[in-house]
């Protein structure tokens, strides 16, 4: 049974990919809450890890998520200029831009790493991002982020 499942996954991509989202407390987490209070529906593949600020989200978390077997990683924070902590998202944006180049250079399929700014009022954007990202991951050939996977 287990073997069969694995085989299926290998040939046809992943039907139930796990996505880990690292989000800031003030904007994106609240935006995701708003999607809830508005009873919007979205793909249930995402697992959210809340941090105070995108400035706290270390790019190395992406690697750990891949190691754990996540098929996609999303990092999301406040829009530029809206950071609850003034400039946390600006500092992180620089790091993400470079880290992303590094991941890509080392062979990670960058389709699996997504970044977004979602404000507390953008429940609909959150829904859209999650649905779109989930669909994209499902369409990818399995194994395209091998370097950090067992």
Contact 22, 55 (CB under 8 A): no
Q: Does 134 bind other proteins (CB under 8 A)?
A: no
CA distance 22 to 74: 6
Residue closer to other proteins, measured from CB, 104 or 139: 104
Q: Which region holds residue 81: left if phi is over 0, alpha if psi is between -120 and 50, else beta?
A: left
Q: Does 91 bind other proteins (CB under 8 A)?
A: yes
Residue closer to other proteins, measured from CB, 7 or 68: 68
Q: Does 117 bind other proteins (CB under 8 A)?
A: yes
Quote the strand ranges of 28-143, DSSP E: 46-51, 72-77, 113-117
Contact positions with other proteins (CB under 8 A) in 92-111: 92-110
Contact positions with other proteins (CB under 8 A) in 19-48: 20, 29-30, 32-33, 35-37, 39-42, 44, 47-48
């Amino acid at each position: 049974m287990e073997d069969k499942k694995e085989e299926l996954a290998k040939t046809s991509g992943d039907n139930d990919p796990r996505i880990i989202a690292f989000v800031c407390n003030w904007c994106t987490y609240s935006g995701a809450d708003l999607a809830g209070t508005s009873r919007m529906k979205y793909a249930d593949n995402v697992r959210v890890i809340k941090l105070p600020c995108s400035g706290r989200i270390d790019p190395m978390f992406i690697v750990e998520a891949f190691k754990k077997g996540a098929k996609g990683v999303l990092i999301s924070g406040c829009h530029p200029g809206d950071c609850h902590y003034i400039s946390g998202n600006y500092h992180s944006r620089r790091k993400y831009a470079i880290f992303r180049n590094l991941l890509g250079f080392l062979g990670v399929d960058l389709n699996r790493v997504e970044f977004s700014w979602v404000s507390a009022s953008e429940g609909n954007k959150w829904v859209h991002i999650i649905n779109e990202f989930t669909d994209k991951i499902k369409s990818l050939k399995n194994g395209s982020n091998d370097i950090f996977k067992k």
